[in-house]
Amino acid sequence: MMTKLDEQYYRKLLELQQLDFALVELTLYLDTHPNDLQALQQFNQLAQQRQHCAHEFEMQYGPLLQFGNSFSKYPWQWSETPWPWQV
């Protein structure tokens, strides 16, 4: 069953993707510049922001990750589509 999604779903998903991109880039940078305190502080700030954003997304739209990394409300939400990677 395909669930109809609102504009906020796509906005929140885009925000998560932007945060993930920035975190990957900062990870690569910090791999070669481990003593850059400003970059490390930015990484930690974005990681916290991403965690908050993911929690809000999951509370409203369902789990983002499988294998126990995200909770599901009742009824089981993994049967509802589209999944985040399908949009």
Write down the domain spans for the chain. Answer: 7-78
The Cα 9–Cα 27 span in angstroms is 27
Instruction: Pick out the chain residues at pLDDT < 50.
Output: 1
Query: Which pLDDT score, from 0 to 100, does residue 46 have?
Result: 93
The structure's pTM equals 0.74
**In the block, which residue shows the tokens 């920035």?**
22
Query: Which pLDDT score, from 0 to 100, does residue 11 have?
Result: 94
Query: Which pLDDT score, from 0 to 100, does residue 24 have?
Result: 94
Query: Which pLDDT score, from 0 to 100, does residue 1 have?
Result: 44
The Cα 27–Cα 11 span in angstroms is 24
Query: Which pLDDT score, from 0 to 100, does residue 67 have?
Result: 63
